Amino acid sequence: MASLYHAAAGINRLEQLAMQDSPVHRLHPMAKLIVTFFYVVTIVSFPPEDISGIIPFLLYPAVMMPLSGTPYRPLLQRLMFALPFSLMGGISNLIAVRGVAFYIGSFVVSQGMVSFVSIMLKTLLSVFAVLILIASTSFVEISCQLTILRIPKIICLQLVMTYRYLSILISETASMLTAYSFRGPNQKGIKMKDMGSFAGRLILRSFDRAERVYQAMKCRGFNGIYYGRKHGGFRLSDGIFIALMTLLVIFLRFFNLSLFFGRLAG
């Protein structure tokens, strides 16, 4: 139960981080969105065996996090939610792909192992990039920029509302769980026989809540389109950020920096 309260607080923590002031926060949301998208797509485009090519991309979170004043811990905690999924994919490669990739002394490194590390690295960097974006830009602003990029408005609105509701849903669940556990102090979690009515009740409460929020929105002129804050145009700093990051990403994609330094050292 305590973990539910922590989860709700965690979502709020990201919103709080997004409201801070830093050079990264001051960048135009669209500039950050474009760079993040380009960065993630480039990382995903690496072939599974090219681990050394991906490693220099660690530079991005290493620079952006201190610049945006984003603490490591909350991001690492959120990373833990994504890692199990790629872990599953990685492990299956570890078992299924058995060809020899290379040797370290007498130790055989299989292609499965390389693929496993590659998947984990790609996940780590992609999730970090997205989390840095969310920690330095409010979710509403991101959604508004998606609208400008011609993503259907209804999808953008759904994203904003889902994000907003997540913490409400978690706190509703937590308070229901609290009430439940007070009436059954010696049991752990919810009994299977109560699970159906608990979930049903939660859904009904969520529907009621959603209905009331929708009524409040309609009363203030909502007609299905969310109009977010209109940002000014791109400033010079935004242009420089996009140009610099794009060039860096392209350079790192086609020039293997790790191998270069390795050869220099060798």
Partner 1 sequence: MLKVTNLSVKYDLSDEYALKGVEFTVQSGERVAVIGANGAGKSTLLLVLTGVLSHDSGGIVIDDIVLEKKTMLELRKKLGMIFQNPDDQLFMPTVYEDIAFGPRNYGSPEAETEAKADEALSQLNISHLKRRLSHKLSGGEKRLVALASVLVMKPVLLLLDEPTSFLDPKARRRLIGVLDALPQTMIIATHDLDMALDLCGRVILLKEGHIHTDAPVNDALHNADLLEECGLELPLSLQKR
Q: Which residues bind partner 1 (CB under 8 A)?
A: 12, 15-16, 19, 138-140, 161, 164, 167-168, 209, 212-213, 215-223, 227-230
The Cα 77–Cα 97 span in angstroms is 30
If the CB atoms of residues 225 and 247 are measured against partner 1, the closer one turns out to be 225
- Torsion over CA: 202, 203, 209, 213 (sign): positive
Phi, psi of 222 (to 5 degrees): -70, 130
- Give the nearest distance from C-beta 159 to partner 1 in angstroms: 13
Q: How far is the CB of 206 from partner 1 (least distance, A)?
A: 12
> What is the DSSP code (8-state) at residue 121?
H
Output Rg (C-alpha) for the chain, integer angstroms.
23
Which one, of 113, 107, 110, lies nearest residue 90 by Cα?
A: 113
Q: Tell me whether strands 107-110 and 100-104 are parallel, antiparallel or unpaired.
A: antiparallel
By beta-carbon proximity to partner 1, the closer residue of 17 and 113 is 17
In the complex with partner 1, the residue whose CB is nearer, 97 or 153, is 153
Shortest reach from residue 243's CB to partner 1, in Å: 27
| Tokens 């660690």 sit on residue | 58
Shortest Cβ 221–partner 1 spacing (Å): 4
